[in-house]
A and B are shown apart, each in its own frame.
Chain A
Amino acid sequence: MAVAKDVMSSKFKTLSPDIPISEAVRMFKKASEEGRQNVFGMMVTDRDERLIGMLSMYDILLFMRPKHIHIWGMMDDIELAELTDNACNRAKSIRVGDIMTTDVITVAPDTHLMVILDIMIKKHIRRIPVIENEKAIGIVYISNFFYHLLDRLTA
Chain B
Amino acid sequence: MTILEERKTLSGLTVGNAMRRQVVYLPQHTSIDKGINALIKYKVNALLTTNADGGPAGVVSKTDIMGAYYAGLLLETPLQNIMSSPPLFCRPDDSLESALEKMRSKGIYRLYVLGEGAGDVVGALAYPDIVGMLYRYCHECKYSHRKHKPKNPADAAVRRFKVKEVMTASVKACLKNDSLMHIMEELSKYRFGAVLITEKNGTPCGVVSKTDLTLSYKHGIDALLHAQTIMSSPVRSCEENGFLEDAIKKMILTDVHRLFVHRSATQNIVGVLSLTDAARLRSGSCHACVSSRIKIDHHQ
Contacts and interface: CB of A to CB of B under 8 A. Distances in A.
Q: Do A and B bind each other?
A: yes
Interface in A60-98: 62-63, 66-68, 70-72, 74-75, 77-78, 83, 86-87, 90, 93-95, 97-98
Contact of B128 (A63, A68, A86, A102): A68
Contacts of B43: 63, 67
A90 B37 contact: no
B10 interface: no
Given A77-B146, A93-B215, A99 B128 contact: no
A83 B34 contact: no
A83 B219 CA distance: 26
Contacts of B128: 67-68
Contact of B254 (A70, A74, A83, A94): A83
A100 B255 contact: no
A17 to B, nearest CB: 10
B36 to A, nearest CB: 7
A128 to B, nearest CB: 20
B252 A98 contact: no
Contact of B252 (A71, A87, A93, A94): A71
B135 A71 contact: yes
B132, B146, B218, B255: most-surrounded residue (chain A CB, <10 A): B255
A74 B140 contact: yes
A146 B140 CA distance: 49
Q: How large is the interface on B (under 10, 10 to 19, 20 to 34, 35 or more residues)?
A: 20 to 34
A104 to B, nearest CB: 12
Contacts of B136: 71, 74
A39 B146 CA distance: 43
A129 B215 CA distance: 28
B255 A98 contact: no
A59 interface: yes
B41 interface: yes
Contacts of B135: 71
Contact of A68 (B34, B36, B255): B255
Q: How large is the interface on A (under 10, 10 to 19, 20 to 34, 35 or more residues)?
A: 20 to 34
A99 to B, nearest CB: 5
B219 A62 contact: no
A66 B41 contact: no
A98 to B, nearest CB: 5
Interface in B207-258: 212, 215, 218-219, 230, 232, 252-255
Given A67-B128, A93-B215, 15 more contacts: A62-B41, A63-B40, A66-B253, A68-B255, A70-B132, A71-B132, A71-B139, A72-B253, A78-B253, A83-B254, A94-B40, A95-B219, A98-B215, A100-B37, A102-B37
Interface of B: 34, 36-37, 40-43, 128, 132, 135-136, 139-140, 146, 212, 215, 218-219, 230, 232, 252-255
8 contacts: A59-B41, A67-B43, A71-B135, A74-B140, A98-B37, A98-B40, A102-B34, A102-B37
